[in-house]
């Protein structure tokens, strides 16, 4: 059995004090958004407690699907590295960036220059997407949907080159018999987010998965726990979004939480994946919240998901 913990959108703070010239762009709106609401919504003590609980569950690997930064200030890059170091060493933590990590032109390159080891692929390349990390019978595939956008826009895009490379990689990993776990920040399905916040090439992503398949897709961005499915060549593929790992407010689906996935090796025709949600409870403690169905059915009923049959 291989256990993956998935957290996202920590929005690590506090926000450094920017110089005036650093606010003469999109950062200005982000700076005011942080001080008018985000600084209260994202609790760093809660984030630390969540990470502590996650470590107690002894995952074999941790997936962090973006938005470790807020407005792309250079001072945020070192803070992001400290956060990733707190999650674990680069060989046990996989990171993919979000829209806040690419807030303005050049911000993503600066972040990856500091945090690149958490994106290192099996061949040793840093900060290149897609990347692949094979861990036992599981292969983690890291994608980037992070692009700089205009003020009040938070959309993402993979682009044709990355999409085509991902399709080749997933097809090869499937032929080799790996359980394929795809990591991306933006919800990659067509109905995953509204215009201006969506993955603009989600339709192409869905078509690619319909041809190649995957066993699990993980994302963030919406700050809400969710399960959707999209067609694969031999069955539905679960697409799971996690809440913000530092969010204190909202309903149970919005409060800080993370997922645990227990992935068994194939015992008959497919691997078994069991999922649970852990996070902020009504009494203010961190702990188990519910078993999670990976078939778009809610209600806290324990469900074992059997993905498509994979070639050996």
Residue from 47, 15, 9 nearest 34 by CA = 15
- 8-22 burial string, b = 16+ CB within 10 Å, else e? bbbbbbebeebeeeb
pTM (2 d.p.): 0.90
Digitized pLDDT (tens) for each residue of the chain, 312 residues in all: 999 999 999 999 876 665 555 555 676 566 556 556 565 678 999 999 999 999 999 999 999 999 999 987 888 999 999 999 999 999 999 999 999 999 888 999 999 999 999 999 999 999 999 999 999 999 999 999 999 998 889 999 999 999 999 999 999 999 999 999 999 999 999 999 999 999 999 999 999 999 999 999 999 999 999 999 999 998 999 999 999 999 987 666 789 999 999 998 765 566 689 999 999 999 999 999 999 989 754 333 233 333 433 333
Main-chain phi, psi angles of 131, to 5 degrees: -125, 160
Please report which residue ranges of 187-242 form alpha helices under DSSP H.
202-212
- Residues paired with 131 in a beta bridge: 142
Q: Which CATH class is domain 2-292?
A: alpha beta
Burial bucket for residue 241 (CB in 10 Å: 0-12, 13-18, 19+): buried
Domain residue ranges of the chain, discontinuous segments joined by +: 2-292
């Amino acid at each position: 059995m291989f256990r993956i913990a998935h957290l996202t959108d920590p929005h690590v703070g506090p926000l450094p004090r920017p110089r005036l010239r650093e606010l003469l762009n999109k950062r200005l709106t982000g700076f005011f958004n942080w001080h008018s609401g985000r600084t209260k919504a994202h609790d760093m003590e809660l984030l630390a407690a969540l990470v502590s609980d996650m470590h107690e569950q002894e995952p074999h690997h941790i997936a962090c699907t973006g938005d470790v930064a807020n407005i792309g200030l250079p001072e945020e890059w070192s803070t992001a590295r400290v956060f990733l170091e707190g999650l674990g060493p680069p060989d046990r933590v996989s990171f993919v960036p979000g829209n806040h990590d690419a807030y303005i032109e050049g911000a993503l390159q600066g972040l990856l220059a500091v945090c690149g080891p958490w994106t290192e692929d099996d061949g040793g390349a840093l900060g290149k997407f897609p990347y692949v990390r094979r861990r036992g019978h599981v292969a983690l595939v890291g994608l980037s949907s992070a692009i700089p956008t205009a003020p009040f826009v938070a959309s993402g895009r993979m682009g044709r080159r990355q999409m085509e490379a991902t399709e080749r990689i997933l097809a090869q990993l499937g032929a080799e018999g790996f359980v394929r776990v795809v990591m991306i920040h933006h919800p990659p399905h067509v109905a995953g987010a509204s215009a201006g916040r969506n993955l603009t090439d989600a339709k192409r992503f869905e078509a690619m998965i319909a041809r190649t398949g995957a066993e699990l897709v993980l994302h963030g961005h919406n700050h809400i726990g969710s399960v959707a499915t999209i067609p694969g060549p031999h069955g539905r593929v679960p697409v799971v979004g996690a809440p913000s790992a530092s969010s204190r407010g909202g309903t149970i689906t919005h409060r800080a939480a993370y997922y645990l996935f227990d992935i068994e090796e194939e015992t008959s025709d497919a691997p078994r994946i069991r999922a649970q949600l852990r996070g902020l409870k009504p009494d203010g403690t961190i702990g188990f919240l519910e078993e999670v169905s990976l078939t778009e059915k809610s209600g806290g009923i324990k469900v074992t998901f059997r993905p498509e049959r994979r070639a050996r």
